[in-house]
Amino acid sequence: MKRRVVVTGMGALSPLGNDWPSVRAKLQANITGVHVTSEWEAYEGVRTRLASTVREFSLPDRYPRKKTRAMGRVAQLSTVATECALVDAGLLDSPALHDGSTGISYGTTAGSPPAMEVYARRVMEKKSLKSVSPNDYIQFMSHTAAANLGQFFEVRGRIIPTCSACTSSSQGIGYAYESIKHGLVQCMIAGGAEEMHVINVAVFEVLFATSITNGEPICTPRPFDRKRDGLVVAEGAGTLILEELEHARARRAPIHAEVLGFATNCDGDHMTQPNAEGMERVMRAALADAALTPDAIDFVNAHATGTEVGDIAESLATARVFGRRIPVTSLKGHMGHTLGACGALEAWISIQMMREGWVAPTLNLTEVDPRCGDLDYVMGECRPLEQRIVMTNNFAFGGINTSLILRRWE
């Protein structure tokens, strides 16, 4: 028997703020989280001067050093967002965290880059293990966020570290949903995180994919726009607590939404070139998993990062799946591209907007690229929109695609 899966807790740290009222206010006022930075000036070949970061972040003093010494910034962001989600779900002090019935499915693009840099310099340049700490490796290992969450919250259930670039956190949510749906656990901590570092910026610079609209006022990134010039790298963390419905009801947990469907696939084609056919297949597969037709979806949260080939491929695939001018928004106009965190942050915002009956516009979108698909792009201002079911999509290097379908909880 397939079990129903609901969202009972949410927590986030984002470039727009770390609580829903702050984020809502900025979305509705069309305030960007993107800012100009001088940090990249020291690096030859880095043309962009833009970033989108979590401001004024620090670990709470009450966190014991023994539990945080193996954390780089990416794991720190993950831990604080997860604590907020567990509090929201009423699970922070629950025995269910420790009895094996709760697991973790959490992702990042990589571990903490500064720790990687320290480790490499000491070992490769100095050819010495002096001053090398085991914590250096633990901070930059690819599953550092998931492992640190398990250690910090003493979670003893199944653990699924997802490390698939920009689909890391959407896969984290999807695999958590599948784990509960098939009865392997009752609760899952799901999501993903990313920390800002020049290494992440450089990846997109060498592909000529970063925005170099470096002046003020900031009017980039521009997903779907004819005048787009690339993406803005960002950071953040988002955590959803997923739970089996009857388990949530039994403890009278708050329920924010239901996860109806999930799919992930691979283009099997090109490492960095988006593929509309693969995107179309993953959306159709998610609909099939949810036992829904395209007409059941009220709104699509798009991945759309503000790159030419990505925006066009995704919009064409979306238009083919739905065959109508379905409302579409990309939240990356406001936040930039939070990489391994984007799937979780966008799911969190999509759930909140669905609950309140409105959608944000794609910030900076003023003239839709005529090569994009025929969709109802939300532009200019927030729009009242009753939504019962939404789809949120993400796509990553390696041709990895994800699609999540969420339903408003009645």
Average pLDDT taken over every residue of the chain = 97
Q: How many Cα atoms are found within 13 Å in the side-chain-facing hemisphere of 139?
A: 25
Yes or no: domain 5-408 corresponds to CATH 3.40.47.10:
yes
User: Is 334 labeled as catalytic in the residue annotation?
Assistant: no
pLDDT at 84: 98
Q: pTM (2 decimals)?
A: 0.97
Question: Residue 92 pLDDT > 80, yes or no?
Answer: yes
Specify the pLDDT at position 229. 96
State whether residue 40 is helix, strand or coil.
Answer: helix
Residue from 334, 337, 342, 372 carrying the catalytic annotation? 337
Give 65's contacts (C-beta < 8 A, 6+ positions apart): none
Residue 132 has pLDDT above 90, yes or no: no
Least confident of 98-107, 132-141, 234-243: 132-141
Give the pLDDT band (50/70/90) at residue 2: confident
Phi, psi of 152 (to 5 degrees): -70, -45
The yes-or-no verdict on residue 409 having pLDDT over 80 is yes
Q: Is 80 exposed, middle or buried (0-12, 13-18, 19+ CB in 10 A)?
A: buried
pLDDT above 90: residue 114: yes
- Of the candidates 298, 309, 333, the one whose C-alpha atom is nearest the C-alpha of residue 395 is 309
Closest CA to 233 of 314, 325, 337, 134: 337
pLDDT value for 125:
85
Q: How many helices (H) and strands (E) does the chain have?
A: 13, 15
84 is catalytic: no
Cα–Cα distance, 154 to 406 (Å, whole number): 29
Q: What distance in Å separates the CA atoms of residue 254 and residue 349, rounded to the nearest whole number?
A: 17
CA distance 9 to 180: 15
**Range 349-364 average pLDDT:** 98
Which amino acid is located at 13 in the chain?
Answer: L
Radius of gyration of the chain (CA): 20
- Which pLDDT belongs to residue 180? 98
Q: Are 389 and 406 in contact (CB under 8 A)?
A: yes
Q: Are 12 and 233 in contact (CB under 8 A)?
A: no
pLDDT digits (tens, 9 = 90+) for 167-220: 999 999 999 999 999 999 999 999 999 999 999 999 999 999 999 999 999 999
Domain ranges in the chain are 5-408
Q: What percent of the chain stands above pLDDT 70?
A: 100
122 — pLDDT class (breaks 50, 70, 90): confident
* 1 has pLDDT over 80: no
Please determine, for residue 294, whether its predicted confidence score (pLDDT) is greater than 90: yes
Read off the pLDDT of each residue in 341-363 and give the average, rounded to a whole number: 98
Point out the catalytic residue in the list 166, 187, 342, 372. Answer: 166
pLDDT by residue (tens digit) across 5-24? Answer: 999 999 999 999 999 999 99
Based on the residue annotation, tell me whether 303 is a catalytic residue of this protein: yes
| Catalytic residue (choose from 143, 197, 303, 334) | 303
**How much is the pLDDT for 202?**
96
Residues 6+ apart with CB under 8 A from 66: none
